[in-house]
Structure 1
C-alpha cells in the first residue's frame, strides 16, 4: 500500500487515533514500502511477544497503575493486529466476528433459554456451552483443552476447578492439608533413594496439592508465589545493602 498524501494525518503524531487508523498504520508497516523488520515477521517469530505483553499487562494490573495498564493493553492489542494482518486465512474482521459470536453463544442466560443469576451459575453455563461447541464428550476432554503452554500453577488450578465443578473435590481444606503430609513424606523417601525421576513426580504431587489448598481457600497460586518471590528479592536486597 502507498503512504497516504500529506492531507491524511494518520501518520502524524497526535492525541487520538481511531481503530481504523491503527489498522492502516500496521498495514503500511508491513507493506513493500513499509518497515523491513515488520514485513519479515511471522506468527512464529513474534509468538513470544504475545506472551510477554500479556505478562506486562498483568503486572500493571497488580500495580494498580491505570497509566501503565493503558499502555500494556495497547501492546497486547498491537499483537492481535500484527498477527491478523500477516494472516492469510483470516482478517481482523474475522477475529472480531468470532469473538462476538462466542460472547453471544456462551451467554445463553441472556441470549438463549438458560437461567443463571449468580456468577457461579454463569460460569457453569459458559462451560456447558463451551463443551457443546467444541464437541467435548467428557470432562477429561475439557481438561486436555487447557493449554500445556500455560504456567504450570495456573494450569493445575484450572484443571482442578473443572474437576470440582463435577463434584470431584475435597469436602474441606483440612483433607487437602493432610494430603500435604502424605506427599511430603513420599518426597522425602525418593530424595533419600536418589531417584531423580521419582523425586520429580513426588515434587509435582506436592505442588499440585498446594495448588488445591489455595484453590479451596479462594487464593491464586501464581499470585501467592509471585508475592513470595518479590519478598525474597526484597530481603536479599536488604542483606546485600547491609553486607
Structure 2
C-alpha cells in the first residue's frame, strides 16, 4: 500500500470519527433545547421523547469507541493526529454525559407540570440557552481544531455559574417563604444543577480541544462563590 493511500485512508477514518462526534453533539444540543422547552411548556410528550432518544446518543458513543480503537490499532497515529483521536474518544464520553443531563431534566417535567409555577422557572431557559450554545460552540471548535474558540467557551462558563448561584438563592428563598414551594423548587434546583454540569462538561471538552490543537493545557480556571455548588453536590446530582 502506498504512503499516499495510507494517509488518505487515515484522513477518511478521522473524518468519519469527527462526523460521529458531530452527530452526537447535534443530538445532545437538541436534547437540551427540547428538555427545556418541555419544562417551560409542561409538555410531557416532548419530555418522554427526549428520554427515549438518549439511547441513540449512547449508541453513537459506542461507535466512536470502536472507531477510535480501530484507528489507533491499525494506523498508529502520532503527535497531533494521536491527540485528536484520543480527544475524540474522551469527548464522546463527555457528550454522552451531557445527553444524560438533558434526559434528567426531561424526567422532571412530569413532576413540575403538576406543581404551581414559581418565579425562578423564568430564569432557567436563558441558562439552558447559554449551556446549549457552549455545547454547540465547543463541538464547532473541535471540528475546526480552533483553540481560540475553545478558550471562548471556557470563558462563557462563568455566566452559567452565575445563573446557577442566583437561581439557587432564589429557590431557597421561595422554599423558606412557603412550604408548598419545597417540592417544585427542589426539582427546579436539580434542573439548574444539571444545566450547570452541562456547562462544566462543555468547558472540559474545550480544554480537550485546546490540548488537541496546541499540545498545551489551558490554565486552571478560577471560581468564585462555591456555596451553592457545595450544597447541591451534597444533595446529589
Find the structure with the greater CA-based Rg. Answer: 1
- Structure with more relative contact order (C-alpha pairs < 8 Å, separation 6 or more): 2
The normalised TM-score by structure 1 is 0.28
